[in-house]
Amino acid sequence: METASTPPLPGGTWTLGDSTVTRFGYGAMQLAGPWVMGPPADHDGALAVLREAVDLGITHIDTSDAYGPRVTNELIREALHPYPDSLFIATKVGATRDAQGGWPTARRPEDLRKQVHENLDSLGVEALDLVNMRMGDAQGPRPDSIAEAFETLVALQQEGLIRHLGVSNVTAEQVAEARGIAPVVCVQNMYNLAHRQDDDLVDHLAADGIAYVPFFPLGGFTPLQSEALSQVANRLEATPMSVALAWLLRRSPNILLIPGTSSTAHLRENIAGAGLSLSDEDVAELDGVGRA
């Protein structure tokens, strides 16, 4: 756990549901094997990363029973159970895995109930802190109704199996639809310097006290955009990932980071990078990356 000698994590904290979490969190997906299938090459190394994350003061871990499948959840349980009171574990449902490593959707009520119980079992808890309802597909959000799927999670919440609800890979319309059914504490979508289609949504959620959790902080950059980011990073003597993470923390106070890694050294590098100080001029230049 964080001690007096542990430097504070960049970004401070955010209130997620009824818990205070560090804005710098940890995404466990990369702990599974290649293509998020099977066990890690270094089992003990994976456990060490998880324990290091908690030792460094991280209180928000993102996972899913579909990672592996079951692999990351079982690693989290082995490394950290019984969990510290301060630790908040978010998971997601709405997709399974096939033999080819694909992510077929699974959103029927019976599918979602099964996935929630699988997450409960593999994490070793009686109630899940947060379950994100994953919509869309691997290509991104799709304009489908979220109502039936989200109502299934609400019923499970009423049964005491889920504490808080979120949505993932969604459109702004689906966020509004879900919020019309039950409180939503976070939205998890692809968002970064180059992909800013959720700019208005980020601001709207911030005004309402709802967290926004971006994934793929360096995903989908064109060569021109990557070159622009690298130029800023070189000037600051930092890595592109450091600049991208620091920009996200600067972008809005409701943005929570969940960068993943299977290396304790890389974990520390990500933390240091996210704490990079960006000037107003840096931010203005970075804002141009999305227009490059």
**Residues known to be catalytic:** 67
With CA atoms as reference, report the closest residue to 57 among 33, 21, 32.
21
**Helices 223-235/240-251 angle, 10° precision:** 90
Peptide bond into 69 cis (omega under 30): yes
* DSSP-H helix ranges across the chain: 43-55, 71-80, 109-123, 147-158, 172-179, 199-207, 223-235, 240-251, 264-274, 280-287
What is the rounded CA–CA span in Å between residue 128 and residue 275?
30
What is the rounded CA–CA span in Å between residue 137 and residue 191?
16
